[in-house]
Amino acid sequence: MEPLRSPYLKSLEHRGFVQGVTLTDRTSNSPWCHYFGGLRYALPPTERWRKAQRLPPSYSYGTKDHPGQCAGAAGVCPQPSFPGLSLGEGWGEDCFQCNVWVPAGEPPKNGWPVLVFIHGGFLQFGTPNVFSAGALLGEAAFNAIIVMPAYRLGVFGFLYSSELEHDAATVSEPVGNQGFWDQRLALEWTRDNITLFGGNPSQITISGYSAGAYSVFYQLSYDIHLPEDQSIIKQACIWSNSPVAQPKAPTSAQTQFDELLSALDIPLTLSWADKLAQLRSVPSSKLLSVATGLKVNQFRPTTDSLFIQPTIFQSLDNGNIGRRIAARNIRIMLGECRDEGALYATWYPPQNDLDSLYNRLLADYPAPIVDKLVKLYYPDGKLPSGCRDWNCDAFGRIYADMQVYKMQRGLVHSLVLGGAAHLLYRYRIEYRLKCADNTIPPEWGVTHSTDQYIWMWGNGSALQTDEKSIIQHALIDPLTRFVHGELDIGWGTKSHREMRTLKSDGSVEIWQDGLWDEAMQVWKALRVVGEQGSAPIAKL
């Protein structure tokens, strides 16, 4: 049942006033929380593909008589469509806003703990506007501030080239990975402004789902290499994703950039400034249409040597990242769903043959990685036993292995190598809520994203009475204690090889990871593979 919404005026001291809404339970008439939607965390960049700008100290959201209107939604970056996700009109490149949920009532002495949640979508689509955290705060007593930022996606957030390097140098800004820099700005805004909402800036947990979880890894990797007084992240949740390999080298990014120019009939013989001038004049709708029509149409992170160092996977393999995480005592919750591959198989599926599957994987992973994967999974070039087809079943399985199952176990292995085993809280979800049927076919099982209805307490849909008690005990209560920084969260695992498992019947079991050994074989095979033009991956 939708909560009641009533205007709520909030003073943000030197930042002026904003008007959000109070969400109230219709049955009990008890307030759930206060919601502020479309709250700006940064100013747009001066040009497309430049860095967004921090809010200046003098920035004000509005006056008491004319407060900033924050009862709606964050901006939505132009993006391709995805089955079951209808975003409507109103897309725009100014998407530097976040949605904020604040518990009702007075904050504790040190302020509410804070959960920053980064939405998923393969870094190509998505928006925080499809998430609703009101019931999590109101019914499940989560008692923490939740911040969900929008950020640049696809070609708008992850284009990279030598031309953009020249351009960035003229204004002393970083080049590429702008979607990651947007997320970082949202984190910095949270640290600097969350006290105005009653939050505790020293108790920030970063979380993310799918590509948001992938983002969390890179945000964490960046954060732990900063001086401790500049570090923001205290804990992390990596839900259903993991890093796979060193992101593509600038040379690979340049090839994709040149293909985009050719598709837009922009001559490659022009100067770098003229190329960018023409490219920036292309309307966002046309740019999106052409970019998603390229052979390699996934615009993903680049090893830029600033946000992403060329040695990041060496630092995993030799335990350095694990040692830094252990030294700063950063706890990490991470895990998976039982049937991840069913939904993964729907994202730009290949034709029904091995060559098409190979080419589809090239959109996400470097060619040497794909070569090794194909040899590992299909040594004789044939479908494995029990695999129905190349374009759905085989693709879904290998993609889920790379996005979640095998690579996340590799990440765990690397963190343990650095002495961070005691900081890991692993889970597995085999239980599906009824409300997931509203968007995800039941026959897909407990597939990727079905558990978002668990983490978000229905995500705007009503839960059945028995479901509430099951997920409260199994995951929400421990998550709440985790975010609040409690030392004993009642997780139940005793080693990194164990996973807290929510079974299909609603019971909780501590499972000795039966997928570990197979995952280690794949992880170690990929560790000796490097992309030409990037740092080699160290052997174990």
> Which has the closest alpha carbon to 116: 149, 83, 141, 153?
149
> Which has the closest alpha carbon to 288: 96, 87, 53, 43?
87
Residue type, 294: L
Instruction: Please name every residue paired with 238 in a beta bridge, in sequence order, or none if there are none.
Output: 208, 334
User: What is the token pair recorded at 308?
Assistant: 């992403």
Angle at Cα 157 formed by Cα 155 and Cα 160, nearest 5°? 70
Cβ contact 113:203 at 8 Å: yes
- Please compute Rg for the chain using Cα positions: 23
Q: How far is it, in rounded angstroms, from Cα 176 to Cα 70?
A: 30
Active-site annotation holder among 161, 207, 210, 240: 210
User: What is the token pair recorded at 478?
Assistant: 């421990």
Our answer to whether residue 210 is catalytic in this structure is yes
In sequence order, the 6+-apart residues with CB closer than 8 A to the CB of 253 are 159, 160, 161, 176, 302
Pairing of strands 235-239, 331-337: parallel
Angle at Cα 150 formed by Cα 17 and Cα 171, nearest 5°? 90
Tell how far CA 124 is from the center of its chain: 11
User: What is the token pair recorded at 417?
Assistant: 């190598």
Tokens 């052979």 -> residue = 295
Q: How far is it, in rounded angstroms, from Cα 219 to Cα 228?
A: 15
With left for phi above 0 and alpha for psi between -120 and 50, is residue 76 left, alpha or beta? beta
Burial of 71 from C-beta contacts in 10 A (0-12 / 13-18 / 19+) = middle
In sequence order, the 6+-apart residues with CB closer than 8 A to the CB of 486 are none
> Which has the closest alpha carbon to 346: 441, 436, 435?
441
Q: Where are the beta strands (DSSP E) in 12-110?
A: 17-24, 31-40, 42-43, 53-54, 68-69, 97-103
List C-alpha distances in Å: 472 to 139, 250, 476: 10, 46, 5
User: What is the token pair recorded at 229?
Assistant: 């007084």
Instruction: Please name every residue paired with 99 in a beta bridge, in sequence order, or none if there are none.
Output: 148
3-state secondary structure of 166: helix
Q: How far is it, in rounded angstroms, from Cα 99 to Cα 42?
A: 13
> Which has the closest alpha carbon to 127: 97, 150, 100?
150
Q: How far is it, in rounded angstroms, from Cα 519 to Cα 402?
A: 10
**Looking at the annotation, which residues are catalytic?**
210
